[in-house]
Every structure is written in structure tokens, then in C-alpha cells.
Amino acid sequence: MSGESGVTGQEAAPASGRVLEEVGKRRAFAIISHPDAGKTTLTEKLLLYGGAIHLAGSVKARRAQRHAASDWMEVEKERGISVTSSVLQFEYEGRHLNLLDTPGHQDFSEDTYRTLLAADSAVMLLDNRKGVETQTRKLFDVCRMRRLPIFTFVNKCDRVGVDPLQLLDDVEADLGIHCAPVTWPLLDGLECLGVYDRRSGLLHRFRRTGDHGATRAAEETVALADERADERFPAAALERLREEIELLDAAGSEAAPEAVLAGRVSPTFFGSALLNFGVELFLKYFLEQAPAPGPRVVGDREVRPDDSTFRGFVFKIQANMDPRHRDRIAFVRIVSGSFEPGMTVTNLRTDSPVRLASARRFMAQDREMLEEAVAGDVVGIHDRGSLRIGDTLSGDGGPAFDDIPRFSPEHFARIRTEDPLRRKHLDRGLRELSEEGAVQVLFSESGPNPAPMVAAVGALQFEILLHRLEHEYGVEARLQPLPYHHARWAEGDEDEIRRLAGGYGRTLALDHRDRPMVLFETAFSLRTASEDAPGVTLHAVSP
């Protein structure tokens, strides 16, 4: 049947040579980091090197401008932060990069996790004093679940940080991924004088640009083996570097491409995003090694990026908070085929046609870069409420991609409305907003007819929820915060799950599909849970 084309084992029509060439250029990636590690700064520098902007500093400026001009999202304007995780596109040395933004401050939410499902690789950005922090760890776990290749950039090396050997040991112990340094800092005492490129044998001298990194830094290099290196750098610093490199060589810290692609080894770089130091070395390597869009497994089959049939999945829905404009934008990651504005595809969940009429295009520059979108690209589609997170859009029938999992929430509250006549509206609103992925709705067994619980990864999701309930469903709702901070989906014997959830500072809830979840007040209570009920498996991501 025609609906089966485009997958392995079937008659899959290959895309045209030109489309294949375009797909080969695509690199869809995300940056995972803890707030303040320098994500905004690194993003600006990547755009600067990609020639998308000439003076770094404009990402922040652009954001500020957009807030002023936009009626896109009330909450966004009020808070002055970006709730929208969008896509920045830029070209670099013949590659077409799609950088998927992962909001990390107060706007950290389930969308941040879901965005990683649309990426083909990730850049892990670490502060050289702090190493792995909470949000890095959480995002890393999602990357690991997907076996994404991860490239590490240790940032802020213009100032004193933790000893690099110690830092990498800590990362390995914490995350269980092997770091393979491609560059290594040349340290004079605590000060970083440059980095050594282990592949080329060249030392790159660290130079502070006069304009705080607003322009590309000129690179000054000398081979470590060259005697001029001894003239330029203190003998003690070079000696230490040679010793450390020997150690790394002896430990076999190489970034073998297969191990990188499998997510077992992370090529690691040192530098300063602020001062543009080490950024270009990183970007070049990243472009060489980061994977182009690959096949996605659907059940026991694969959808390949070179199939001609359009297929994509919705990984994020951005609601318009302006009550006058109810439309929303669904972000679709293209997995195969190519997108042309105006094409009609099928939403496989509802078996109904969707006209991809007015795609929102993302701009890294003033001109629109997206004339046509192919596998590895993300398109934003205007939607009146028919699409849900996880929907498969297909130009030619099945199969549908797997469901997008739910990620464990960290904020919990009971939700009520004082007006009994609006109770039904509240229920409908919660059901629809939960289906859309804006919030999770949980139910507990305690008490007669208890109010539903809402749960979110980020607290801002609650503000958005209240706003939308009021403006879209006419319900003024109140939240009563609950003392839980962690949740896990529980699998195992029902009695054992109940016993586990009966412990101090814990409770049992059911998610929207009646799957049991245990909520925990403290991290300690969560940590000791597996000892209390060894037969129960706890999952941070919905099984």
C-alpha cells in the first residue's frame, strides 16, 4: 500500500540528488548547560563565526527588540525572558546548522527536554569552575537516553578554573561518559596562556581582543615541537603541558569517531566564549564530526532522511498568549522528504489532512534562509489546536513515530476554581493543555473527590497555565502548591509500589494514562526509595 512507502523493507523512493545534498549539509544540534555557563555568549560566537552576524552581542539585543515589538506572549514580555525555544540557522563552511534553543533559566520546562528529541547531537557547555551542574545533568540524561553524540566545551578559561584533569575526572565520575580532550589548556600556574591542539600539534596562543570578543580573534599558532614555542611561552608551562599530554596519550584519550557517534566518548575542548578563544577550533571540529540527520527507528523499521516522502513529528507547541490570536505554532522536526509551503500532509493520529500553509521561518539573519526545508530542519506550522506533541505528519501514510515521553516534573500543585459552574471548563482546559504538553495533570486517591494536581518541569509553566485557562477557557483558577519536588514513574508489583509511596514525605499519584507515579518531598527520600522497595523500578522519563 502506498502508505508504506519511504521506510526500509518497502519500496522507498529516494529523494532527488539535490535534496540529498542539502540533507548532507544539515547539522541539527542543541546546547546543554546550566544557567550562566555561557550558552547565550557561545551562541553569539557561533553565529559570529558562521558569518550570520558581524558583531557579537546582537543575540541579546535582538531578544530585547523582539520583546518590545512582539505581542507574541504576555508572560514573555512581563518577565523579559524568552519562553520561546526556537531555532537559529546559520551557514558555516558549506554546512547548514540548525541550533535548537534549550531555554535554561526560569523558562526551563518540559519543552527544553523535548527539544533534545529533535536534535542529532549536543554541545555540553561547562563552566571551568563548576563542571557538571544540575541542569547539565538532567539534560545530559535525555541525551544519553537518545544516545546523542555529545561534544564538550569547557568555557571561561580566560579566568582561573578547576584543574582540567580534575574537572574531566569529575565529569566522567558524574555522567559516566569518557571525555577525550581534543584541545588542552596551556597553564602557567593557574592562568591559561593558550590551548594545544592534540591533532595538529599546534599551540594556539590566547589573546585578549580589545573589544571583549565582539569580533573574530586572530589566531596565533606555533607547533609545540618548534623551538619558537620555547621563546613564546614559559618553560614551566610547556613542561607541564608536555607531561599532561603524555598522560592523556598514555590513557588512550582519543575521540574515536564510532565511540563519539555512539555517545560513549565526548570530544572535549577548552576555551572562552566571551573572548572567542578556542571557539573556532571547536566549531570546525564539530562540523567535521557531528552527524548529519540519520534514520529514525519506528517500531522495527526505519525512516531514512533520504526517502522522498515527507515525514516529521511535532516536538513542541508554542501557544500564542494573545487572546485575540488563538493560533499556535507547532514545531516539526523533518525526518524525511522535503517540505514545501502549501503542501498537504496527514496527521496520522487523527488521520486528517493538515495543510502546511504558513510555515513560520526562523531567521538568523535578516534574510529568510529557509526556502525549502529537508530532513534535519525544523519548521513551525500555524495550528488552530488540532496538533499535539508527538504527532506524526506524513506525506504518505504510516508508520507513526513513537510517542514522545513525559519527563519527570519538579513542581506540583492542586488546582481549583471557586466557581462550581466553571468546573467543567477547568477539566476540559486541563485535559487539552495536558494533551498539548503544556502541563502534566495527575490524580491522587487521597480524600473524597480531590482536586486534580498539576505538575511541571519548570515553575513558569504554571504561570502560563493559569494565563491560558483564564484567556482560552474563561476559568479563573487557583493553585495550592504541594511540597513535592521529585517524581518517578513506578513499575512493579502494585502492593510494593503502594508501600514505597506510603513512606514519609511521599505520595502516590496517577498520570493522565493511569500510570502510577511516586512523588517525593526530598532528594533524600528519592535516593532511599530503591532500598525501600527493590522490586520497584523508578523511571525519570515515562516508560
How far CA 394 is from CA of 11, 115, 253, 382, 401, in Å, comes to 16, 20, 43, 17, 10
What gap in Å lies between CA 138 and CA 104, rounded to an integer?
A: 11
Query: Shortest distance, CB of residue 155 to ligand G4P, whole angstroms?
Result: 5
CA distance 435 to 386: 11
Integer Cα distance of 35 and 152 in angstroms: 16
The cell numbers describing 200, all together, are 595538529
By beta-carbon proximity to ligand G4P, the closer residue of 161 and 376 is 161
Least Cβ distance, residue 202 to ligand G4P (angstroms): 21
Contact positions vs ligand G4P (CB under 6 A): 33, 35-41, 155-156, 158-159, 272-274
Whichever of 10 and 82 has its CB closer to ligand G4P, that residue is 82
> Rounded to an integer, what distance in angstroms lies between the CA atom of residue 83 and that of residue 106?
9
Helix axes 134-146, 164-175, angle to 10 degrees: 60
Closer CB to ligand G4P, 155 or 347, in the complex: 155
Cβ count within 10 A of residue 114? 25
Closest distance to ligand G4P from the beta carbon of 157 (Å): 7
Question: Cβ 79 to ligand G4P, closest distance in Å?
Answer: 15
Kindly state the smallest distance separating residue 523's Cβ from ligand G4P, in Å: 24
Q: Which is nearer to ligand G4P, 159 or 228 (CB)?
A: 159
Quickly count: other Cβ atoms within 10 Å of residue 240's Cβ. Answer: 15
Q: Which grid cell sits at 213?
A: 570578543
Q: Are strands 506-510 and 516-520 parallel, antiparallel or unpaired?
A: antiparallel
Whole-number minimum distance, CB 45 to ligand G4P, in Å?
9
Taking CA atoms, 349 is separated from 5, 402, 426, 436, in Å, by 18, 11, 25, 13
Grid cell 557547555 in the structure block, residue: 125
List the 202-205 sheet strands across, edge first: 183-188, 191-197, 202-205, 220-223
In whole angstroms, what is the distance from residue 229 CA to residue 240 CA? 14
Cβ proximity to ligand G4P, 40 vs 85, nearer residue: 40
Q: In terms of CB distance, is 120 or 158 closer to ligand G4P?
A: 158
Closer of 38 and 395 to ligand G4P (Cβ): 38
CB nearer to ligand G4P: pick between 33 and 346: 33
Question: Closest distance between ligand G4P and the C-beta of residue 196, in Å?
Answer: 18
Nearer to ligand G4P, 76 or 158 (CB): 158
CA 516/CA 149 separation, integer angstroms: 32
DSSP for 149-183? -EEEEEE-TTS--S-HHHHHHHHHHHH--EEEESE
CB of 186 vs ligand G4P, minimal distance in Å? 16
CB of 31 to ligand G4P, least distance (A): 8
We find the least distance from the C-beta atom of residue 34 to ligand G4P, in angstroms, to be 7
**Identity of the residue, 41 or 86, whose beta carbon is nearer to ligand G4P in the bound complex:** 41
Burial of residue 73, with CB atoms counted within 10 A of its CB: 0-12 exposed, 13-18 middle, 19 or more buried: buried
Closest-CA residue to 491 (of 442, 454, 533): 533
Question: What is the SS3 assignment for 220-277?
Answer: EEEECCCHHHHHHCCHHHHHHHHHHHHHHHHCCCCCCHHHHHCCCEEEEEECECCCCE
